[in-house]
A and B are shown apart, each in its own frame.
Chain A
Amino acid sequence: MSNSYNSSTILADPSSVVAGRQVDYETIQRIANANNYSFGVGACHNVLSQSYADITFIQDSGSFTEMSEWRIPLASLQHSTLEIVVNYKIHGTAVGLTSNIKFTLDVDGGTSSVTINLPNSTNGIANDDLAITMPSPSATQVYYGTLTCEVQADAANNSEVEIKSIMARWKPLTSPLSTSILYQYDSSPAYYPKGTTRTGHNQALTSRYGHQVIDNIELLRTRLKSYLTWSPVYNASSSIFTNPQDGAAPEVYLSMGHINTLISQILISNGWDNMTNRKLELHVRYITDSIDKSIDFFNNSIELVTGAGGAVRWDEYTLELDYGALSTIGDTNLSYYTAMLDNTDNNFSILGNFNNIPGVKYPAINPSNHGFIIGLGLMGV
């Protein structure tokens, strides 16, 4: 079928076209298959992964209450369905469809949301799809979305919602791909699906096939993957666990306890240095301060945006690599590097610590929490 893919036939053997071997035209068909598979399925693994221990993510309010916010990369402008899966526990007994979690996705100003009901359970799984209309491709790249989470509980029956883990992924495009030109993050270059029926015939192809295959590979190499999604839980509330030793005491600010422990393993393949596109980007959600501040992450010193204190904003920072300093795990067969907050004097002074405890907790803002970080996202190719 035209523009189809089959995951069992995506490998075209490079040695099938070398001298001394019979040229197999199936090789060309497999090239088309791998093209389509890569566009439809590539980077459709987790874009959001976060888990919660110690009853940190808990809510007792009967109204939807904003709890967290993340930055996630897009797979493409064609991947418009975000699958969200939640592991949760209902404390007490809720009545009816009163325990819910709501996700709202913002992509370039366009928003969509989904509300997922959480039936009574001590270890439940809930999931649903969030469908969004992606913006029309333009010259400006649209490559990330901002996902916000709200929770409501059955307050009337003294029931509370505890979230234990959240995962999201872009759903793969089904085979066959659309017959039209497809777009990754902008209008040019575009992706051209390849017809696998035509390439299965033992006939010559025009130059268009070769040109587009090479263009497609170059485009797909720039597709972003999610490496770290950390959001605090900034409105936790419980009437059951009134002692913070028992629950409802989540992380609200990026802190010294995250140094060396908020970890992401990122894949840096050889040839990475020669790429000229967006390669590795740290997204920081920050309460602005009028004083210049920086954080040290992955051997990069990141100068945070300075301005009138108290504004909450996301900013994007390009990271560079220091190969000599960044590998901390053993043999994984591939070149994974450990990206995390560096153990530096600067981080110790700017991040939350016992000598630097804000007087209020976000979403309350006053000068005591200006300059604190309330979200991190790491994405790269």
Chain B
Amino acid sequence: MLIQTAYNPLPNKQACNNGAVLMGSSISSMCAALSQLTHIKFLGMANYPIMRSTYTPFGVTPNTGILSTTSLITMSKGYTEGHKLFYASTPISTYLCVIVAYESGTNDSDPSSNTFSPKIDIEVKALNDSGSGYVEVATADYGISMDSTNSVLLQSAYYDAGRHGYVHIIDTGINIPPSPPTNITPVPPRPLYLPATAGGYNVRGEVVAINVDAEDCKIRHVTILDIYTPEVAP
């Protein structure tokens, strides 16, 4: 069945009164409205801002609490960082789109090399709490590796020295593969997959860890969202 994306007009409630002839279209309208709730409005998502240091060598004081673009670009080639982002999936979460905003290095910070090679790896880990807190117990998806070789915009960029932050935005795409991925090392960008279970532990409907590892760039923001599937078997 098709999942409508819009808030459709609901039927007149009088159509449901005792003695009234209840037409199939009224029921159909309720079905469509509910599928919009379960499969559109209540899809999971998370918007993660990544806080960065406000240190700047250019200010009056080096620690102002004020974030400027220039405070972010002190990066040398080979710089790495990692983020463990928790995502509360829904019982019907299956494929995730991840949108990443990042700043890559500038030539100013590494005069010996003006070619940074930004790379971002993303994987999904299943979590289990056996009573003493969550532990990563299995790999739900070995995930993806985004770099400049797989047709993804990840080139180095000069920052806008003017007045505001400048980020590249990259995403995994929304094209759901014909079958669940089976890779055991990161592959070129594709939606991340949440199996029903991994290693015998439930994944869907549970909190999972989205591990984002970056090299030659700094992550500023990550959005994770359930991908809408237009046609679903009822």
Which A-chain residue is minimally distant from B103 (CB atoms)? A261
- Contact partner, B51, options A56, A209, A260, Cβ 8 Å: A56
Q: Which of B20, B35, B97, B228 contacts A12 (CB 8 A)?
A: B35
Interface hub of B35, B49, B135, B174 (most chain A Cβ within 10 A): B49
* B81 touches A (CB below 8 Å): yes
Judge whether B66 and A233 touch: CB under 8 Å. no
A31-B34 in contact (CB<8A)? yes
Contact B63 A165 (CB under 8 A): no
Nearest chain A CB to B69 CB, angstrom units? 5
- Complex Cα distance, B11 from A314, in Å, reads 39
| B120-138 contact mask (Cβ, 8 Å, vs A): 1 or 0 | 0000000101000111100
Docked-complex contact B65 and A41, CB < 8 angstroms? no
Q: Chain B residues with Cβ under 8 A from A214's Cβ?
A: 10-11, 13, 16, 30
The one of A54, A218, A356, A381 in contact with B10, judged by C-beta atoms closer than 8 angstroms, is A218
Asked if A210 is at the interface (CB within 8 A of a chain B CB), the reply is: yes
Q: Which of A85, A229, A264 has the most CB of B within 10 A?
A: A85
CA distance A259 to B44 in the complex (A): 26
Residues of B within 8 A of A11 (CB): 1, 35, 38-39, 232, 234
Find chain B residues with CB under 8 A from A209 CB: 16
Interface size class of B (residues with CB under 8 A): 35 or more
Contacts of B37 in A (CB 8 A): 34, 38, 42, 217, 220-221
* Interface presence of A180 (CB below 8 A): no
CA distance A13 to B34 in the complex (A): 10
Interface assignment of A203: CB less than 8 Å from any CB of chain B: no
Q: A85-B86, A343-B164 are in contact. Are A263 and B16 (CB under 8 A)?
A: no
Contacts of A328 in B (CB 8 A): 169
**A281 interface contact, C-beta 8 A:** no
Q: Which of A27, A41, A128, A250 contacts B90 (CB 8 A)?
A: A41
Of the candidates A55, A128, A253, A261, which one forms a contact with B65 in the assembled complex, judged by CB atoms under 8 Å apart?
A253
How far, in angstroms, from A52 to B26 measured CA to CA in the complex?
50
Q: Do A263 and B49 contact each other (CB < 8 Å), given the known contacts A11-B232, A38-B37, A165-B85?
A: yes
A14 touches B227 (CB 8 A): no
Partner of A267, one of B9, B17, B45: B45
Interface mask (B1-22 → A, CB under 8 Å = 1, otherwise 0): 1000111111101011110101
Which of B32, B37, B52 has the largest count of A CB atoms less than 10 A from its CB? B37
Contacts of B209 in A (CB 8 A): 125
Tell me how far the C-beta of B101 lies from the nearest C-beta in chain A, rounded to whole angstroms.
6
**Interface residue A152 (Cβ < 8 Å from any Cβ of B):** no
- Indicate if A76 sits at the interface (CB-CB under 8 A): no
A245 within 8 A of partner (CB) = yes
Does A111 touch B at the CB level, under 8 Å?
no
Nearest to B61 among chain A residues (CB) is A357
Q: Does B199 contact A (CB under 8 A)?
A: no
Docked complex: B138-174 residues within 8 A CB-CB of A: 163-167, 169, 171, 174
Give bound CA distance, A30 to B227, whole Å.
23
Chain A residues with Cβ below 8 Å from B6 are 269-271
Most buried by B among A35, A51, A220: A51
Interface flag for B205 (CB, 8 Å): yes
Cα distance, A331 to B225, chains bound together (Å): 13
CA–CA, A331 and B136, complex, Å: 32
Q: Are B38 and A38 in contact (CB under 8 A)?
A: yes
Instruction: Give chain B nearest CB distance to A15 CB in angstroms.
Output: 7
Q: Which residue of B lies closest to A338 (CB)?
A: B169
Instruction: Decide: B24 and A23 in contact? CB cutoff 8 A.
Output: yes
- B221:A257 contact, CB within 8 angstroms: no
Query: In the complex, A165→B27 CA distance in Å?
Result: 45
Contact A244 B48, CB 8 Å, known A53-B83, A221-B37, A354-B59 = no
Contacting pair A357 B60 (CB below 8 A): yes
Contact with B along A131-175 (1 / 0, CB 8 A): 000000000000000000000000000000000110101001000
A364–chain B nearest beta-carbon distance, Å: 11
- A251: CB under 8 A from chain B? yes
A17 near B28 with CB under 8 A, answer yes
Assess whether A257 is in contact with B164, with CB atoms less than 8 Å apart: yes
CA distance A221 to B42 in the complex (A): 10
* 25 A-B contact pairs sorted by A residue (CB < 8 Å): A13-B1, A16-B31, A18-B24, A31-B31, A31-B34, A34-B38, A49-B85, A53-B52, A123-B84, A125-B127, A127-B134, A207-B17, A207-B18, A209-B16, A210-B16, A210-B22, A210-B30, A214-B16, A249-B55, A251-B65, A252-B66, A256-B67, A259-B164, A272-B7, A348-B163
Q: Which residues of A contact B (CB under 8 A)?
A: 7, 10-19, 23, 27-28, 30-31, 34-35, 37-38, 41-46, 49-57, 83, 85, 87, 123, 125-128, 164-165, 167, 169, 172, 206-207, 209-211, 213-215, 217-218, 220-221, 223, 225, 227-230, 232-234, 244-245, 247-253, 255-265, 267, 269-272, 274-275, 328-336, 343, 348, 352-354, 356-358, 361-362, 381
